[in-house]
């Protein structure tokens, strides 16, 4: 099947999925969560004040009409205005995207390359002290809380040693670089642990396949087998793991951005939660859902590029 036809057909299939996702989001925020005017005005608000605010926010309209607005926003990306700041939500998201991506993209690339390289090294020397040490270090890295990394990094490396900025952010390259170095290091450390364990497992599964034994029988060296054959055949689960992480880059890291004062999407989302700013929370939830659906399609296309045996149907 032509790749363009496949992508178009898959995107059409995602429409009912997106309808279901927006319906669930709408029910959670507009039905299950209760009356937001109580949260915004406080428990001592009068009935008249609540009625006026409901009318101002459009919450007095029929639920079906409100849902159509939510569904429309998923396709047009017009999420209206924030309840707390009165700004257009897409303008807020565009401003936060720059800060989030300046932190997330380099961290993601470095962590992905480092994890793959370390996993290859562990698989190449499987069963040795180096392999066991890398596994132990990975487990230890996974076991430590993100808060511990953030607080330790800020206290020791930023406050005591003065190597990095404690918090803050400046727009424009290279002004933002000093502010993202320490958060990026923490992001990379957090990512390497689970990724190394997963990639090592995938590669060791490939090492025990029949084609590896055949390659060894032909006299190929372990280095050639590992880098030319094992890595290539292990790319499908690796690609899956990498691509499903990309939507989370758009949202950013809630804790890292908040503790380091980076005005990214993660920080915006956390502030919206604290302020009960439902439109912003709904917008971020819908955008994350759209991103996951889109990158699932991209993952399927990438499979065919890595492994020609896989056909699009």
Q: Sign (positive/negative) of CA torsion 258, 263, 268, 269?
A: negative
pLDDT of residue 184: 92
pLDDT of residue 282: 86
pLDDT one-digit tens code per residue, 37-73: 777 776 777 778 778 878 877 777 888 888 888 888 8
pLDDT one-digit tens code per residue, 113-158: 999 888 888 887 888 888 888 888 888 888 888 888 899 899 999 9
Alpha helices by DSSP H, the chain: 3-27, 36-41, 47-57, 63-76, 89-124, 129-143, 146-152, 177-207, 210-217, 222-224, 231-233, 235-251, 254-259, 265-274, 278-306
| Architecture in CATH of 98-276 | Orthogonal Bundle (1.10)
3 band by pLDDT with thresholds 50, 70 and 90? confident
Return the domain boundaries, the chain: 3-76, 98-276
CB count in 10 Å sphere of residue 109: 11
- The pTM is what? 0.80
pLDDT one-digit tens code per residue, 166-210: 888 888 888 889 999 999 999 998 888 888 888 888 888 877 777
**Percentage of the chain modeled with pLDDT above 70:** 93
Position with higher pLDDT, 112 vs 51: 112
pLDDT of residue 304: 73
**What is the per-residue DSSP string for 284-301?**
HHHHHHHHHHHHHHHHHH
């Amino acid at each position: 099947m032509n790749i363009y036809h496949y992508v178009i057909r898959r995107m059409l299939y995602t429409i009912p999925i997106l309808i279901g996702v927006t319906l669930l989001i709408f029910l959670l925020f507009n039905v299950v969560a209760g009356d937001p005017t109580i949260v915004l005005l406080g428990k001592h608000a009068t009935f008249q004040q609540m009625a006026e605010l409901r009318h101002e926010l459009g919450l007095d309209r029929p639920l079906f009409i409100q849902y159509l607005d939510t569904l429309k926003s998923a396709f047009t990306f017009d999420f209206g205005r924030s309840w707390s700041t009165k700004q257009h939500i897409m303008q807020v998201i565009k401003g936060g995207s720059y800060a989030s991506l300046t932190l997330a993209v380099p961290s993601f690339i470095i962590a992905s390359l480092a994890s793959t390289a370390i996993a290859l090294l562990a698989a190449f020397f499987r069963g040795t002290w180096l392999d066991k040490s890398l596994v132990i270090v990975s487990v230890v890295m996974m076991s430590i809380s993100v808060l511990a990394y953030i607080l330790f990094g800020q206290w020791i490396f930023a406050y005591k040693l003065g190597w990095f900025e404690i918090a803050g952010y400046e727009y424009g390259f290279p002004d933002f670089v000093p502010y993202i170095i320490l958060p990026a290091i923490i992001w990379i450390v957090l990512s390497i642990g689970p990724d190394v364990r997963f990639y090592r497992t995938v590669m060791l599964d490939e090492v025990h396949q029949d084609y590896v034994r055949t390659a060894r029988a032909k006299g190929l060296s372990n280095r050639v087998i590992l880098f030319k054959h094992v890595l290539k055949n292990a790319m499908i689960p690796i690609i899956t793991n990498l691509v499903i992480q990309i939507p989370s880059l758009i949202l950013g890291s809630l804790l890292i951005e908040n503790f380091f004062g980076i005005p990214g999407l993660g920080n915006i989302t956390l502030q919206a939660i604290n302020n009960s700013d439902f439109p912003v929370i709904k917008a971020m939830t819908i955008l994350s859902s759209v991103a996951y659906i889109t990158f699932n399609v991209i993952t399927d296309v990438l499979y065919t590029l890595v492994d020609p045996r896989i056909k699009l149907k």
